[in-house]
């Protein structure tokens, strides 16, 4: 029996494979649109001004994940594993987004002097805007988790494709009218975030027939989610700390070049997300023995896809970067190639992490592994960038090594769960 036949045998003749194919197609198209916009911005603005936009994106992402406190993951767990009503989950997430977002804005304002030192290349209004959009970024994270948890991942990715198309159209208009700048791109990002959040709310609220916040659900979600949050926070820092250290030691120009490497390397995540999103519901809600079999089948399929895709990306890196971005971004080629092995390892570990977290309730292990990986990445970045003077290539080496070691620890832990008693989520 071939690998694909075994995979189909585990998941059955359901809509899972169709969903996976649809998600892959949608994500691929969205990726192409995002890359097209990124290439235009890079060629017109250059590394320095592109780096400003990249840092704004980095900060908003950091604030969203850090300020979430794991509530979005806790809500997802109670939705899929505990069967809490959609109306209650959505309402609780909505209220949390509002209050946590306002709190984040207050914290950002009070600590503005600190962020000026960490990101000296950014103006105050950019830093404050990153905090001001927190209610929207919090809600978007919760919305994405809920859509995946109610088996509507295809709809979620279809909307993302539409927003990507709108974003590219705006970039082209700014470019053709000779007003493309880092300021205008950031302002447009705010407008698109407002619009996409409104559409997202309408989409989910229509299915839930309104929303009913629950303090108890919020407390329960925080209680379980805070464990996941520890791992999510560590993972976020694990993946973003290199850019922060580059910005501090090497400047925004180096960030602009390095993020080209990161963007292309992490493109491999678009390939794993199709299978992971389509299989998530079955992995989270099935009896543990079946969940393990599905996870194992998805893992093997994804490993094959990632290896082939990663090898192709490494071979095409040189002509791809020079052809799309020009010689100013030649320095991103080597870091891209160095990042690929670590991204492949991390990509294949994600589906295994979902089984451990949402089916077997082993979020604490993932948190410990994530923190260990984050501290290792910081140490390696200090060694390779600061002590060895390897610049952004050193940052890529540090990240690739730490990603791989964390992934290996996850694989070992998952292997040990094979003979656990069969448990059906309640």
Confidence grade of residue 425 (pLDDT, cut at 50, 70, 90):
very low
Q: What is the pLDDT of residue 11?
A: 45
The span from the CA of 217 to the CA of 224, in Å, is: 11
Q: In this structure, are residues 258 and 400 in contact, taking their beta carbons and an 8 Å threshold? A: no
- The residue with tokens 């094979």 is 418
Q: What is the pLDDT of residue 70?
A: 84
Q: Determine which of 8-17, 154-163, 204-213 has the lowest per-residue pLDDT on average.
A: 8-17
Non-local CB neighbours of 345 within 8 Å, separated by 6+ positions: 403, 404, 407, 408
Statement: residue 9 has pLDDT above 60? no
Statement: residue 20 has pLDDT above 80? no
Q: What is the pLDDT of residue 238?
A: 79
Q: In this structure, are residues 411 and 352 in contact, taking their beta carbons and an 8 Å threshold? A: yes
The span from the CA of 42 to the CA of 243, in Å, is: 17
- The residue with tokens 């979600």 is 221
| Measured CA distances, 29 to 14, 23, 33, 68, 271 (Å) | 24, 10, 6, 29, 12
Statement: residue 325 has pLDDT above 70? yes
Q: What is the pLDDT of residue 10?
A: 44
The span from the CA of 115 to the CA of 125, in Å, is: 12
**Half-sphere exposure (CA, 13 Å, Cβ side) for 217?**
25
The span from the CA of 194 to the CA of 188, in Å, is: 10
Would you state the structure tokens that stand for residue 282, as one six-digit string?
Answer: 């079955």
Say which residue, 137 or 23, is predicted with more confidence: 137
Average pLDDT, the chain: 86
Total residues found in the chain within this entry: 426
Residue ranges of domains in the chain? 3-416
Q: What is the pLDDT of residue 297?
A: 86
Alpha-carbon Rg of the chain, whole angstroms?
21
Single out the residue of 227, 84, 63, 239 nearest to residue 140, CA to CA.
Answer: 63
Q: In this structure, are residues 249 and 399 in contact, taking their beta carbons and an 8 Å threshold? A: no
Statement: residue 191 has pLDDT above 80? yes
Single out the residue of 157, 205, 238, 171 nearest to residue 406, CA to CA.
Answer: 238
With a pLDDT cut of 90, the percent of the chain lying above it is 45
How confident is the model over 74-97, as a mean pLDDT? 89
CA-CA-CA-CA dihedral for 281, 148, 90, 285, to nearest 10: 10
The span from the CA of 104 to the CA of 101, in Å, is: 5
Statement: residue 16 has pLDDT above 90? no
Confidence grade of residue 424 (pLDDT, cut at 50, 70, 90):
very low
Q: In this structure, are residues 394 and 379 in contact, taking their beta carbons and an 8 Å threshold? A: no
> How far apart, in Å, do the first and last CA atoms of the chain sit?
33
Q: Determine which of 57-61, 149-153, 329-333 has the lowest per-residue pLDDT on average.
A: 149-153
With a pLDDT cut of 70, the percent of the chain lying above it is 93
The span from the CA of 246 to the CA of 243, in Å, is: 5
Single out the residue of 349, 325, 331, 335 nearest to residue 395, CA to CA.
Answer: 335
Statement: residue 13 has pLDDT above 50? no
Q: What is the pLDDT of residue 17?
A: 65
pLDDT tens for 241-270 read 888 899 889 988 898 899 999 989 988 876
Q: In this structure, are residues 137 and 105 in contact, taking their beta carbons and an 8 Å threshold? A: no
Collapsing DSSP to helix, strand or coil, 423 comes out as: coil
Statement: residue 2 has pLDDT above 90? no
Statement: residue 162 has pLDDT above 90? yes
pLDDT tens for 334-364 read 999 999 999 999 988 888 988 888 888 787 8
Which ranges of 69-152 would DSSP assign to H, the alpha helix? 71-80, 86-110, 112-118, 124-132, 134-149
Q: What are all long-range contacts of 299-304, with beta carbons under 8 Å and residues at least 24 apart? A: 299/348, 299/351, 299/352, 300/3, 300/6, 300/7, 301/3, 301/4, 301/7, 301/275, 302/271, 302/272, 302/275, 302/276, 302/347, 302/348, 302/351, 303/344, 303/348, 304/3
Q: Determine which of 38-42, 73-77, 285-289, 328-332 has the lowest per-residue pLDDT on average.
A: 285-289
Which of the residue ranges 147-151, 302-306, 327-331 has the most confident prediction, judged by mean pLDDT?
327-331
**Residue 5 CB-density burial (10 A; 0-12 exposed, 13-18 middle, 19+ buried):** exposed
The span from the CA of 214 to the CA of 5, in Å, is: 44
């Amino acid at each position: 029996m071939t690998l694909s036949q075994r995979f189909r045998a585990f998941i059955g003749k359901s809509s899972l494979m169709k969903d996976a194919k649809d998600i892959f197609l949608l994500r691929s198209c969205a990726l192409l649109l995002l890359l097209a916009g990124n290439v235009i911005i890079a060629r017109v603005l250059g590394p320095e001004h592109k780096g400003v936009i990249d840092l704004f994106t980095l900060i908003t992402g950091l604030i969203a994940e850090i300020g979430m406190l794991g509530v979005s993951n806790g809500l997802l767990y109670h939705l899929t594993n505990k069967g809490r009503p959609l109306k209650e989950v959505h309402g609780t997430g909505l209220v949390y987004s509002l209050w946590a977002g306002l709190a984040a804005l207050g914290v950002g304002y009070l600590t503005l002097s600190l962020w000026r030192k960490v990101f000296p290349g950014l103006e105050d209004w950019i830093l404050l805007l990153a905090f001001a959009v927190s209610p929207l970024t919090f809600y978007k994270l919760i919305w994405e988790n809920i859509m995946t948890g109610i088996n509507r991942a295809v709809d979620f990715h279809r909307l993302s494709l539409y927003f990507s198309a709108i974003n590219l159209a705006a970039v082209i208009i700014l470019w053709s009218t000779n007003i493309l700048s880092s300021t205008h791109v950031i302002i447009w990002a705010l407008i698109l975030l407002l619009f996409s959040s409104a559409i997202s709310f309408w989409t989910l609220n229509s299915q839930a027939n309104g929303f009913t916040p629950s303090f108890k659900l919020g407390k329960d979600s925080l209680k379980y989610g805070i464990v996941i949050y520890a791992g999510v926070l560590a993972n976020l820092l694990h993946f973003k700390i290199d850019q922060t250290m580059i910005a501090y030691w090497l400047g925004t120009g180096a960030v602009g070049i390095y993020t080209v490497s990161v963007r292309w390397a992490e493109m491999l995540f678009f390939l794993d997300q199709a299978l992971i999103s389509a299989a998530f519901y079955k992995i989270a809600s099935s009896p543990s023995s079946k969940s393990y079999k599905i996870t194992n089948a998805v893992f093997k399929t994804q490993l094959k896809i990632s290896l082939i895709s990663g090898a192709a990306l490494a071979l095409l890196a040189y002509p791809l970067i020079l052809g799309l971005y020009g010689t100013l971004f030649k320095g991103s080629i080597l870091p891209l190639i160095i990042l690929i092995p670590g991204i492949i390892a991390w990509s294949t570990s994600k589906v295994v992490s979902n089984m451990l977290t949402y089916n077997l309730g082993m979020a604490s292990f993932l948190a410990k592994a994530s923190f260990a990986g984050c501290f290792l990445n910081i140490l390696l970045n200090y060694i390779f960038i600061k002590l060895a003077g390897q610049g952004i290539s050193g940052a890529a080496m540090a990240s690739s090594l730490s990603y791989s070691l964390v992934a290996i620890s996850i694989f070992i832990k998952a292997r040990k769960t094979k003979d656990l008693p069969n448990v059906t989520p309640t």
